[in-house]
Amino acid sequence: MGANEQASRVIEVTETDLPLHCPTPRTPAWSLHPRVFLDVAKAGQVLCPYCGTRYVYKGGKPRGH
């Protein structure tokens, strides 16, 4: 996958995906960059600083956050 294709990726996540990190276990090329934890619940969406994947939180306020 090219950098432009990867940068345009949008992945919806829910409470069951928390704590969120990129790359996720479902990411085909999960070993392309170091694992980074992302606080998607705070802002509702977040960009991975390594690959540019946008994660969008779908759901209510997560428990315990």
Domain locations in the chain as residue ranges: 3-57
Question: From CA 23, how far away is CA 27, in angstroms rounded?
Answer: 6
pTM higher than 0.85 for the full model?
A: no
Q: Who's near 22: CB < 8 A, 6+ residues apart?
A: 33, 35, 36, 38, 48, 50, 51, 53, 55
Q: What's the average pLDDT block by block, 10 residues per block, for the chain (65 residues)?
A: 58 93 80 89 93 89 55
Residue pair 11/53 in contact by the 8 Å Cβ criterion: yes
